[in-house]
Amino acid sequence: MKKIIVSALTLLAGFSALAQTYTLDKTHAKLNFIITHLMISDVDGSFKDFSVKLTSTKEDLSDAVVDLTAAINSIDTDNDQRDTHLKGPDYFDAAKFPTLTFKSKSMKKVGDKKYKLAGDVTIHGVTKPLELDVVYNGSAIHPYTKKTVVGFKITGLIKRSDFGVGASTPSAVLSDEVPIVANVEFIKE
């Protein structure tokens, strides 16, 4: 029995050793959202403080595991009054729900440099499944660090009503559907 357990642990350790870790290059990363105001104009916003952990055992990253956390207090729409309101209890309630998270369940290649990333997003204390479109922009060797870097553009759509964000604000004032756009660069460790 001990031999079986030791063999299983050795096999698992071997698989773990094959996993590559990628660190987010925060100077070349943005996590943005867009919401429509009064059904006539788009307002852009972003989360200035977010982290992403990416691991994969495959060179094409088709089995990537993604773990994202964003600080609600870092929301930025270029308007301090609006940002304060968004962080308050009428919308995200940062005091009660300080982060939003995304934890992937699968990443499947669906075309040349195109993937579907599925997982669970938690916003305002509510967890829902979310599928994102991912475009792999490619890789390069950084000229200064000599490390491999990879880049992605990630897009998706959430409904704020699914998470109770701004529940008293009608969709004629702020759109229910909120597109998400992230452009991220990772450094292969």
Whole-number pLDDT of residue 15: 47
The answer as to whether 1 is a domain residue is no
Whole-number pLDDT of residue 7: 47
Whole-number pLDDT of residue 1: 54
Query: How many whole angstroms separate alpha carbon 154 and alpha carbon 132?
Result: 7
The answer as to whether 152 is a domain residue is yes
Tokens of 95: 């005091």
**Can you give the residue range of the structural domain that contains 180?**
19-188
Which CATH number fits the domain that encloses residue 40? 2.40.128.110
Whole-number pLDDT of residue 30: 97
* Per-residue pLDDT of the chain in tens (189 residues, 90 and over written 9): 555 444 444 444 444 458 999 999 999 999 999 999 999 999 999 999 999 999 999 988 889 999 999 999 999 999 999 999 999 999 999 999 999 999 999 999 999 999 999 999 999 999 999 999 999 999 999 999 999 999 999 999 999 999 999 999 999 999 999 999 999 999 999
Q: Structurally, how many domains does the chain consist of?
A: 1
Q: Report which secondary-structure segment, H or E, holds 32.
A: strand 30-37
Pick the closest to residue 103 from 53, 61, 56 (CA basis): 53
Residue 124: how many other CB atoms lie within 10 Å:
19
The answer as to whether 5 is a domain residue is no
Q: Report which secondary-structure segment, H or E, holds 80.
A: helix 80-87
The answer as to whether 10 is a domain residue is no
The answer as to whether 149 is a domain residue is yes
pLDDT, tens digit (0-9, with 9 covering 90-100), for 67-109: 999 999 999 999 999 999 999 999 999 999 999 999 999 999 9
